[in-house]
Structure 1
């Protein structure tokens, strides 16, 4: 039940990206860091459980960025994939820095060479960050593209974030699905935070980032009612931006898709009775990315739970990186 929120509405930041990664809390995961050679230009976390060691969110020194969300698939549409979805954003950010590949070319390569038929349902938001241009008195941006293996043609790309004032949310459904309250609520909260920051002339980047983490921490998941069917309760997750620890099955034996699909669960009367260290599923990591008008990136990741399922204090779980995008002003 991950969520990504993206905006071009702040005058000081051509791109704002917020992300919650929801997973089994004891799934082996590397925190955000610069990757080792030959991919030392890539910054992001990694999934250590699958051989691909894929990512859900990463950015490169050259400004390529990718964030992935899963599809919530129920019944017969759910299947165990042969390949990790983390390989999908990997394919974009690990390409050689000097390689020039447009969005349609990458989507075609993804479908024809990398392959998307042997992974579970996903949506990938990706693109190369560059300065806005002034056209007819309005700011225009290079934009980001969205590709999904639930519409597997390269020419089915959706383009977003091409104009000033756009704010979009994406969770575990197709882009534009307004039936997910967490997406609508997240967009509203992000717009309000941007408006307040601009109106107040705050320019306190740390304070603004903290406000964004507050958005990612909105918990509207109700307690599970006595006798409530598990698949019914799982659907409540579409209401909550943050997913607190809830009952489920061990990450060692089942993928998180089965949790999201409503196929499995433990019959606990409320989430407070779950033994997090063994069975917890929820928001594992939170990330805020701010890109300013000079091409300066601030990437902040918070780990909420350690590999034993224990709560991590903010000061211990936060990683922060700042760097300048190479070639920001290049044509």
Structure 2
């Protein structure tokens, strides 16, 4: 189960975002790159899911400084058939709804539009953190971000976060109003606040700060029990920030088959990014049905730093390659740096 933490507590940065993506490690996913959102022409920086035709993502930025992060949560069709887990549309496209919105549409316009349009009906449970860093300054601060969910029935139920300095908030695979009942959320906020406080005290440079934020994402409190069942594993996902891979006999065979195929066919270490637009429907993609049978755990980690001059550092760390081979920390890091408003990306 994923976790995202956002903080406005570091005086040098308008916003810091850190994120663990917990997923089946064989789920085919690109590394982060700039691509063009077909309907709007917006340039978006994100990794993209290659399993679903929509090629969605769990987090990203656009060139104008809009950002979005998605977490999902389990729910039953008995709760609400329109919000059930059986999805026609991939939740990954919800991020692109905000990142691909026209520049003239503010967050205050976007929130009621999507809540009343039926865009999210038939999509599994989710929370979408969306914000806009345009026009921020050290004197004015940044505008508050919103947390949309298909468990919100009206605009006045949408929480606003990060609109004041010195705050740290976190969200995992539940709605925001229940986030504090999850041990990993409370622990994550505490560790991130401690890390930022130490960074300010010691005047850490960006590289030192980044590696210490990765240490927060690496914090692992999962008990080691080789006989643990899948149900027991799922119950423990609320407790640990980092999720070590869960493997049973069936999933281990799937992982070994993926590794063998990668070696024998000399396949690339990572999936190739799709063409640079959203017009393709995915028919060119090779079927990837087997990924749901592999190991499950923390697959990707991301650190995003945004300073007061609008400079963004976007660093993603892959922990597994496309064939289920574990990677050493830092072996497959991708770093993208850009300036908000720069149209050359």
Same fold judged by TM-score > 0.5? yes
Whether the 8 Å CA contact 1:35–1:41 is kept in 2: the answer is: yes
| Shift in Å, 1:208 | 0.5
Show the counterpart of 2:68. Answer: 66
- Give per-residue Cα distances to partners, 1:209-267, cap 9 Å, x unaligned: 000011111111113474x55323311011111111113xxxxxxxxxxxxxxxxxx57
- Determine whether 1:110 maps to 2:114: yes
Show the counterpart of 1:223. Answer: 224
Q: Which runs of 5+ in 1 are unaligned?
A: 248-265
Q: Which runs of 5+ in 2 are unaligned?
A: 257-292
Whether the 8 Å CA contact 2:137–2:309 is kept in 1: the answer is: no
- Give per-residue Cα distances to partners, 1:99-126, cap 9 Å, x unaligned: 2222232122323346111110000000
- Give per-residue Cα distances to partners, 1:268-288, cap 9 Å, x unaligned: 9xx9x7864562111111000
Whether the 8 Å CA contact 2:85–2:125 is kept in 1: the answer is: no
Cα root mean square deviation, aligned? 2.3
Q: How does 1:1-331 map to 2 (within 5 A)?
A: 1-36=1-36, 38=38, 39=41, 41-73=43-75, 76=78, 79-96=85-102, 99-113=103-117, 115-130=119-134, 131-132=136-137, 134=139, 140-176=141-177, 177-202=179-204, 204-224=205-225, 226=227, 230-247=230-247, 266=248, 276-277=255-256, 279-326=294-341
TM-score normalised by the chain length of structure 1: 0.83
Q: 1:133 to 1:231 in 2, by over 3 A?
A: same
Paired positions, count: 298
The secondary structure found in structure 2 opposite 1:43 is strand
Whether the 8 Å CA contact 1:230–1:267 is kept in 2: the answer is: no
| Shift in Å, 1:47 | 0.6
Whether the 8 Å CA contact 2:86–2:122 is kept in 1: the answer is: no
TM-score normalised by the chain length of structure 2: 0.80
Whether the 8 Å CA contact 1:289–1:299 is kept in 2: the answer is: yes
- Give per-residue Cα distances to partners, 1:166-203, cap 9 Å, x unaligned: 0000001111421111111110011011100101122x
